[in-house]
């Protein structure tokens, strides 16, 4: 049984006052829903304020990235213990905006060390994978190959017990912040492929337990159909998570099955 996860990634947005308001709206939206989990990933500066608003609500708090190092001379990075100290229990790792040249341009080989540091500290990592438009346009074999490479790199050296603690986010780069959403069929096809990969990398029981969430222009108008797909276990939401009404409707999705 995989509990659906609706995660809001606020990226580099929000004053403290705005963060408090958005968090309070999410608390109100999630109230009474015991069949789903909600998570908020505010910028680092707002973590402690948001933690106060979320206290007792059951909503999870996450960082948007985390350092591979325990602590020390790493200007601009944030250590796993700092995220925990601020109230976070989860962290997004390998978001395409961090990986992409011309945006942040972080090398792919940073992803796995960050992920292992998060696991070591007891944080729940959300590993983002996804292909670019150029890769998708080259066809399914190229898309599969790209995703396999990112999954192999991400899960490198992880034991079965560690791998069980991850959430995977499939975020086609061409659908992030562009208004273009993968169709429910396109997303389901990739989610099923990722689950099959996990079964081959570990075993079927692990593959059927790991949550695979979709991200890429998720909106009130497409959340229900996405959540009705058998291998889509939630959503990682960017733009619409900054709008109280839209995120409320997304949290309150109604799947057809």
Q: Report, as residue numbers or ranges, the catalytic residues.
A: 95, 171
Using CB under 6 A, which of the segments 27-35, 51-59, 198-206, 214-222 binds ligand PEP? 214-222
Q: Least distance from C-beta 151 to ligand PEP, angstroms?
A: 17
- Does 215 sit near ligand PEP (CB under 6 A)? yes
Pairing of strands 234-237, 167-170: unpaired
Single out the residue of 58, 20, 55, 53 nearest to residue 38, CA to CA. Answer: 58
Nearer to ligand PEP, 150 or 217 (CB): 217
Query: Within the chain, what is the greatest distance between any pair of CA atoms?
Result: 50
**Residue at token pair 């190229």:** 142
- Does 218 sit near ligand PEP (CB under 6 A)? yes
> Residues binding ligand PEP: what is the number (CB under 6 A)?
13
**Residue at token pair 């689950």:** 195
- Does 54 sit near ligand PEP (CB under 6 A)? no
Using CB under 6 A, which of the segments 46-54, 103-111, 170-178, 196-204 binds ligand PEP? 170-178
Residue 77 φ/ψ, nearest 5 degrees: -90, 165
CA distance 218 to 223: 6
CA distance 73 to 59: 32
- Does 112 sit near ligand PEP (CB under 6 A)? no
Among 4, 125, 172, 239, binds ligand PEP (CB under 6 A): 239
The SS3 call for residue 25 is helix
Using CB under 6 A, which of the segments 16-24, 32-40, 187-195, 216-224 binds ligand PEP? 216-224
Among 80, 125, 216, 234, binds ligand PEP (CB under 6 A): 216
């Amino acid at each position: 049984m995989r509990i659906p996860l609706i995660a809001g990634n606020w990226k580099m947005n929000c004053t403290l006052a705005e963060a408090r308001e958005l968090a309070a709206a999410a608390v109100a939206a999630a109230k009474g829903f015991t069949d789903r989990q909600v998570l908020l990933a505010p910028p680092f500066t707002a973590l402690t304020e948001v933690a106060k608003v979320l206290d007792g609500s059951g909503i999870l708090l996450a960082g948007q990235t985390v350092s591979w190092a325990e602590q020390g001379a790493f200007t601009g990075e944030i250590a796993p213990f700092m995220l925990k100290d601020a109230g976070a229990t989860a962290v997004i790792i390998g978001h395409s905006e961090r990986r992409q040249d011309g945006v942040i341009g972080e090398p792919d080989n940073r992803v796995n060390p960050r992920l292992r540091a998060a696991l070591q500290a007891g944080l729940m990592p959300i590993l983002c994978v996804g292909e670019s438009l150029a890769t998708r346009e080259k066809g399914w074999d190229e898309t599969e190959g790209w995703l396999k490479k990112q999954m192999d790199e991400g899960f490198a050296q992880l034991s079965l017990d560690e791998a069980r603690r991850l959430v995977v986010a499939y975020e086609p780069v061409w659908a992030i912040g562009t208004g273009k959403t993968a169709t429910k069929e396109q997303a389901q096809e990739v989610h099923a492929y990722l689950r099959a990969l996990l079964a081959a990398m570990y075993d079927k029981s692990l593959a059927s337990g790991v949550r695979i969430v979709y991200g890429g222009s998720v909106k009130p108008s497409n959340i229900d159909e996405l959540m009705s797909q058998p291998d889509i276990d939630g959503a990682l939401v960017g733009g619409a998570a900054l709008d109280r009404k839209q995120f409320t409707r997304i949290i309150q999705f109604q799947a057809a099955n």
